[in-house]
Every structure is written in C-alpha cells, then in structure tokens.
Amino acid sequence: MFLIDTDIIIYSLKNDEKVIRNFNLYAQEPKAVSIITIGELLYGAYKSHRKIENLGKVHRIVDIFPVIEISMTVIDTFAHLKADLAAKGIVIDAFDLLIGATALSMNYSVVTNNEKHFTKIPGLNIVNWANGV
C-alpha cells in the first residue's frame, strides 16, 4: 500500500511524465493520502491565483483517494519518533513527520520526492516516483 506525499500529488497535477507513468504502472495497487497532504494542498489552493480551480482539484483528490486521518496510533508513533529523533539532534518538519508516522503505523510505503526529510525516519519505506522508480 502506498501513502502518496504532497509533492507527488502536485507533480501528477502538473502531468509530470515519470509520476504519471508510475501511477499507471501501480494502478492496481492500493493508494491513500494523509489528511496532512490534504491540508497542504488546500493551503496551496487558498493562496493561489486560481483558488476555485485548485480547490476543485483538491476535492477531486479526496474523491479519488482514501484519506487517512490522524488516529491515536499515528499520533503516538509521531510523538515517539519526534522524541527519539530530537534526542539525536535530528529535526524533521512536523507535517513530514506526521505523514511518516502515518505510513509507519499502517505499514505503508511513502511515495515522495522529498527523500531528504523522509530518509531520517527509521524503518520508513520510501519510494520515489519522481525519479522513475
């Protein structure tokens, strides 16, 4: 199962060839998005010059993909990860850490081009469709 990160959704909306190819390649695989991704996309839509059009795209994404909410299991995983990483002096953006915690708690792979942040999360399986894989 794949948890699609915000950047990959944006690449798909921009018809990025590699991302579209991978969506087609994995068409039969279950995919979901985090509520955090929806929040990031809504924020982008609200601040854009084409607000109505972009809000429509976000609502279409919600219709296409299951949206994974923040559960107690996810937030516990997030807090544990944040404490462990902080003890090592590693800081990760809270939204990325929440997305990573969601994937870990549900045993999903995160599909992202943001390997810089997500590779810092121990045990997280990362797939980068923007690189063609």
Mean pLDDT of the chain: 95
Mean of pLDDT values over 90-102: 95
**pLDDT score for 129:** 94
Q: Which residues pair with 4 in a beta bridge?
A: 111
Beta bridge partners of 109: 2
> What is the average pLDDT across 94-115?
96
Is the Cβ–Cβ distance between 22 and 129 less than 8 Å? yes
Distance, C-alpha 4 to centroid of its chain: 4
In this prediction, residue 84 carries a pLDDT of 96
| Residue 132 pLDDT > 80 | no
According to the model, what pLDDT value does residue 93 have? Answer: 92
pLDDT in tens, 27-39: 999 999 999 999 9
CA–CA distances in Å: residue 36 to residues 45, 67, 87, 102, 114: 14, 9, 25, 10, 15
| Alpha-carbon separation of residue 81 from 73, 97, 108 (angstroms) | 12, 8, 16
pLDDT tops 60 at residue 14: yes
Task: Report the alpha-carbon angle 67-97-65, nearest 5.
Answer: 15
> Which domains does the chain show, CATH number per domain?
2-131 (3.40.50.1010)
Q: pLDDT-derived band of residue 131, with 50, 70 and 90 as boundaries?
A: confident
pLDDT tens, position by position, 67-85:
999 999 999 999 999 999 9
pTM score above 0.85: yes
Quickly count: other Cβ atoms within 10 Å of residue 85's Cβ. Answer: 16
